[in-house]
Amino acid sequence: MAPRVAPYGTWDSPITADAIARSGNSVAEIFVDPVTTTIYHVERRPTEGGRCAIVKTEEGIELVGKEFNCRTGVQEYGGAAAAAYGGTIFFSNFSDGRIYAVKEGSAPTPVTPESKVLRFADFAVHPKYPHLLVCICEDHTRPEHFAVVTSLVTINTMAHSTALLDGVSPLLTGADFYAAPTFSPDGTQIAWQQWNHPDMPWDGSEICVASVAVENGRVQVKDEKRIAGRWKEVSAAFPAWASDNTLLFTCDESGWYNPWTYDMRTQKASPVLSQPIPEDFAMPQWALGMSFGAPLGSFGAAGTATHVHVEGTESSDHFVLYSALRVGCPALYLLSLHSRTLEELACPYVAIGYVRRVTADSVVFLGAKADAPREIVLCTLKEYSKPKFTVLGAHDSSTDAWKALFSKPAPLTLTIPETGEPLHVIFYPPTNPEYVGPEGEKPPCVVNVHGGPTGMADQALDLTAQYFTGRGWAWVDVNYSGSSGFGRQYINRLAGQWGIVDLRDCALSVSQLAAPPHELIDAARTAIRGRSSGGYTVLATLCAYPDAFAAGASHFGISDLRKLDEFGHKFESHYCERLLGGTVAECGDVYDARSPIYNADKIRAPLLVLQGSEDAVVPPEQAELIVRSIRDRGGQVEYTVFQGEGHGWRKAENVKRALEEELKLYKNVFDLKGAA
Q: 3-state SS string over 258-319?
A: EEEEEECCCCEEEECCCCCCCCECCCCCCCECCCCEEECCEECCCCCEECCCCCCCCCCCCE
Kindly state whether residues 417 and 380 are assigned to the same domain. Answer: no
Give the alpha-carbon dihedral of 460, 464, 467, 469, to 10 degrees. Answer: -60
Kindly state whether residues 456 and 602 are assigned to the same domain. Answer: yes
Residue 352 has pLDDT above 50, yes or no: yes
Kindly state whether residues 620 and 573 are assigned to the same domain. Answer: yes
How many angstroms separate the Cα of 532 from the Cα of each of 181, 308, 527?
Answer: 29, 48, 17
How many angstroms separate the Cα of 238 from the Cα of each of 194, 205, 206, 354?
Answer: 11, 11, 10, 11
Give every CB contact of residue 67 below 8 A, 6+ residues apart in sequence.
Answer: none
616 — pLDDT class (breaks 50, 70, 90): confident
pLDDT digits (tens, 9 = 90+) for 487-533: 999 999 999 999 999 999 999 999 999 999 999 999 999 999 999 99
397 — pLDDT class (breaks 50, 70, 90): confident
Kindly state whether residues 636 and 564 are assigned to the same domain. Answer: yes
Rounded Cα gap, residues 542 and 537, in angstroms: 8
Kindly state whether residues 379 and 519 are assigned to the same domain. Answer: no
Residue ending a domain, choose from 392, 415, 439 = 392
Residue 77 has pLDDT above 70, yes or no: yes
- Residue 648 domain-assigned (yes or no): yes
Give the Cβ contact number of residue 514 at 10 Å. Answer: 18
Structural domain harbouring 349:
291-392
Residue 163 has pLDDT above 50, yes or no: no
Q: Whose CA is closest to 426, among 444, 441, 443, 445?
A: 445
| Mean pLDDT over the full length of the chain | 93
300 — pLDDT class (breaks 50, 70, 90): very low
- Residue 490, exposed/middle/buried by CB under 10 A (0-12, 13-18, 19+)? buried
Residue type present at position 80? A
Give every CB contact of residue 59 below 8 A, 6+ residues apart in sequence.
Answer: none
The answer to whether 587 and 623 have CB atoms below 8 angstroms apart is: no
Give the Cβ contact number of residue 660 at 10 Å. Answer: 16
pLDDT digits (tens, 9 = 90+) for 126-136: 999 999 999 99
3-state secondary structure at position 373: strand
Average pLDDT over residues 85-104: 96
Residue 314 has pLDDT above 70, yes or no: no
Q: What is the pLDDT of residue 423?
A: 98
Kindly state whether residues 550 and 622 are assigned to the same domain. Answer: yes
| 363: Cα separation from own chain's centroid | 20
Average pLDDT over residues 237-241: 98
Cis omega (within 30 of 0) for bond into 348: no
Phi and psi, residue 412, nearest 5°? -130, 145
The answer to whether 554 and 587 have CB atoms below 8 angstroms apart is: no
Angle at the Cα of 422 (from 418 to 425), degrees rounded to 5?
120
Kindly state whether residues 463 and 550 are assigned to the same domain. Answer: yes
- Residue 618 domain-assigned (yes or no): yes
396 — pLDDT class (breaks 50, 70, 90): confident
Rounded Cα gap, residues 542 and 476, in angstroms: 17
The answer to whether 154 and 171 have CB atoms below 8 angstroms apart is: yes
- Residue 444 domain-assigned (yes or no): yes
The answer to whether 91 and 28 have CB atoms below 8 angstroms apart is: no
| Segment holding 639, helix H or strand E | strand 637-642
Kindly state whether residues 419 and 381 are assigned to the same domain. Answer: no
3-state secondary structure at position 660: helix
Say how many Å lie between the first and final Cα of the chain, rounded: 23
Residue 311 has pLDDT above 60, yes or no: no
Rounded Cα gap, residues 109 and 150, in angstroms: 25
Compute the 3-state secondary structure of the chain and give helix, strand, coil in percent, each to the nearest 5.
Answer: 15, 35, 45
3-state secondary structure at position 586: helix
How many angstroms separate the Cα of 470 from the Cα of each of 80, 400, 464, 671, 672?
Answer: 36, 15, 10, 18, 15
Paired strand residues for 139: 118, 149
Q: What is the pLDDT of residue 309?
A: 33
Residue ending a domain, choose from 392, 421, 436 = 392
Residue type present at position 273? L
- Residue 158 domain-assigned (yes or no): no
Kindly state whether residues 504 and 627 are assigned to the same domain. Answer: yes
- Residue 211 domain-assigned (yes or no): no
Rounded Cα gap, residues 620 and 180, in angstroms: 32
Residue 276 has pLDDT above 70, yes or no: yes
Kindly state whether residues 423 and 335 are assigned to the same domain. Answer: no
- Residue 534 domain-assigned (yes or no): yes
pLDDT digits (tens, 9 = 90+) for 544-583: 999 999 999 999 999 999 998 888 899 999 999 999 999 9
Residue ending a domain, choose from 339, 358, 392 = 392
Q: What is the pLDDT of residue 399?
A: 84
- Residue 440, exposed/middle/buried by CB under 10 A (0-12, 13-18, 19+)? exposed
For the chain, the domain total comes to 2
Q: What is the pLDDT of residue 142?
A: 94
Paired strand residues for 191: 182, 209
Q: What is the pLDDT of residue 304?
A: 43
Residue 301 has pLDDT above 60, yes or no: no
Per mean pLDDT, which of 43-47, 88-92, 160-164, 639-643 is the most reliable? 88-92
Average pLDDT over residues 160-168: 55
Rounded Cα gap, residues 370 and 372, in angstroms: 6
Q: What is the pLDDT of residue 482?
A: 98
Average pLDDT over residues 161-187: 85
Average pLDDT over residues 648-669: 93
Cis omega (within 30 of 0) for bond into 517: yes
Q: Which of 267-276, 293-302, 624-633 has the lowest mean pLDDT?
A: 293-302
Question: What is the value of pTM for the model shown?
Answer: 0.92
Q: Which of 174-188, 524-538, 576-590, 648-662 has the lowest mean pLDDT?
A: 648-662
- Residue 388 domain-assigned (yes or no): yes
Kindly state whether residues 379 and 410 are assigned to the same domain. Answer: no
Kindly state whether residues 493 and 388 are assigned to the same domain. Answer: no
Which is more confident, 54 or 308? 54
Phi and psi, residue 30, nearest 5°? -125, 140
167 — pLDDT class (breaks 50, 70, 90): confident
Q: What is the pLDDT of residue 675?
A: 55
Residue 635 has pLDDT above 70, yes or no: yes
Give every CB contact of residue 225 below 8 A, 6+ residues apart in sequence.
Answer: 208, 209, 210, 267
400 — pLDDT class (breaks 50, 70, 90): confident
Question: DSSP label at 443?
Answer: P
Q: What is the pLDDT of residue 674?
A: 64
Q: What is the pLDDT of residue 582?
A: 96
The answer to whether 351 and 460 have CB atoms below 8 angstroms apart is: yes
- Residue 273 domain-assigned (yes or no): no
- Exposure string of 67-80, with b = 16+ CB inside 10 Å and e = fewer, is ebbbbbbbbbbbbb
Q: What is the pLDDT of residue 165?
A: 46
pLDDT digits (tens, 9 = 90+) for 15-52: 999 999 887 788 999 999 999 999 999 999 988 888 99
Percent of the chain with pLDDT over 90: 85
How many angstroms separate the Cα of 314 from the Cα of each of 263, 301, 385, 436, 623?
Answer: 15, 12, 19, 61, 60
Q: Provide the CATH number for the domain around residue 523.
A: 3.40.50.1820
Question: DSSP label at 408?
Answer: P
Q: What is the pLDDT of residue 166?
A: 64
Q: How do beta strands 268-271 and 305-306 pair?
A: unpaired
